Amino acid sequence: MNPQFTFNPGPAAVYPEVRQYLLDAYDEGWLSAPHRGERFQAMVRQCTENLRLKLNIPQDYTILFTSSATECWEILAQSLTPRRSFHLFNGSFGQKWFDYARALRPGCTGLRFDVNDVPDAATLPFDPAETDLVCITQNETSTATQLRDQFVLNLFNRIGPALLAVDATSSLGGAALKFIKADVWYGSVQKCLGLPAGLGLLVLSPRAVARAREINEKAHYNSLTSMITNMLNHQTTHTPNVLDIYLLSRVIAQREGIKTIAPHLQERAQKLYDYFEQVQPLGLRPLIDNPDARSVTVVGVQGPAALIEEVKRRARDEAGLQLGSGYGDHKATSFRLANFPAVPDAAFEALVQFLEKARAAVSA
C-alpha cells in the first residue's frame, strides 16, 4: 500500500492537483506538441513570467530549463569555468558538484566544513582574480543544513570578478531566495516545487549571461550560449520535458507567492525543531545541534540506528507515514523530513501524533 504521506526529500510529495494536470496535458495534446511551435513558446513565456512573479526572480535574470540539477553541475563547469571553480560544502551534493567540476577542470579547489559550523565568507581560501566560479550549496539536502542569507551576501560582496553559483535544489520554491545576491541559481522541480522529477531550472544574472557570451563555449549540446540564445525565442536546445514544463506552468500559476509560502515553512520547521529538541520523543533529537546551521526545508532527526529503523518501520506500518532515510555518513542514525510546500500540514500533525502515541506507550 502507498503511504498516506511521504516526507521523502526527493523525489518528494507532488501536489495532488498534478493528477488532473496530467490528464489535462494528455487531453490538450501537450504530449505530442512540437517544441519549436508557437503554442509551446507561448506556454514557456507564461511559465517563466509566473516563475518570476511567484518566486521573485528579477526581470533581468534569465530562466533556463535543464534536465536536472546534476546537469547544471556539468553545464557550469563546461560553459562558465575556463580556469577553475572553488567549492564550499559539508555534504554529499556539494561534494559531488566539486567532484564533477574537478573531473572537467583539474585546477578546481574545495573546502569541506563541519555540519555544525557557520562558515566565515571573509576567510574562504580562494583568489577572486584567479577563480571563475565560487560554488555553494544553499541547502545541503544530505546533511539537512542551510547557509543563511547573510553568509551568501557576505560572500557575494567579496568575490570581485568571480561569479557566485548556488545550488538551491531543495530550497528553490520553498525559501525566499535573494536572487540579486548571486549570479547563478539552480534546482530541480521534484523538491520544493512538488512535481515529478526530470526537469531543472537554471537562473542567471545579467553578469553570468555576459560571461557565458564572452566565453562562448559551444562544444556541447547544452552549452550555455546556445541555451541562452534558444531561450530568447522561448525554446530549448533539444526536445525538452514538455510534460513537466506544462505541469510546472500549471502548478506555478495556482501556487501562492513565495512571500506567503516561505514563512509558513519556517514556522513549521521551527515547531518541529522545538519539538525534537524539547521533547526528544523516544530519544530522537535534531540531527544538527547548531540552530544557525539547520535547514528550514529539510529537517534532520537523529537517534541510535535500531531506534531509527524501528521508528521508520512503525511510522509506515501504523500511521502510513514514509520518513525520508538518512544520507551518507548519517544513513543509519538519522531520518530526514522534507518540509516542502506540497507536504500538507496534516502530514506533520499525523507525524507528531504518531510519535506522541509511541511515547505514551513506552512510559505506560
Residue 130: its H or E element: none
CB 320, min distance to ligand PLP, A: 25
Burial 175-194, CB ≥16 within 10 A → b, else e: bbbebebbbbbbbbbbbbbb
Q: Which is nearer to ligand PLP, 152 or 355 (CB)?
A: 152
Q: Which is nearer to ligand PLP, 221 or 364 (CB)?
A: 221
Q: Does 249 engage in binding with ligand PLP (CB under 6 A)?
A: no
Residues in a beta bridge with 86: 109, 134
Give the residue carrying C-alpha cell 552549452.
Answer: 223
What would the grid cell of residue 229 be?
Answer: 540564445
Q: Does 92 engage in binding with ligand PLP (CB under 6 A)?
A: no
CB 266, min distance to ligand PLP, A: 19
Closest of 144, 164, 137 to residue 153, by C-alpha = 164
**Which of 88, 144, 162, 167 touches ligand PLP (CB under 6 A)?**
167
Q: Does 326 engage in binding with ligand PLP (CB under 6 A)?
A: no
184-188 and 334-338: which strand pairing? unpaired
Among 12-20, 67-75, 252-260, 322-330, the segment contacting ligand PLP (CB under 6 A) = 67-75
What Cα–Cα distance (Å) separates residue 325 from each residue in 116, 281, 347? 20, 18, 17
**Which of 10, 174, 324, 341 touches ligand PLP (CB under 6 A)?**
10
Angle at 136 between CA 131 and CA 141, to 5 degrees: 155
Q: Which is nearer to ligand PLP, 145 or 223 (CB)?
A: 145
CB 94, min distance to ligand PLP, A: 7
CB 268, min distance to ligand PLP, A: 19
Cis peptide bond upstream of 341, omega within 30: no
Q: Which of residues 19-48 bind ligand PLP (CB under 6 A)?
A: none
Tell me which residues touch ligand PLP (CB under 6 A).
10, 68-70, 93, 137, 141, 167, 169-170, 188, 200
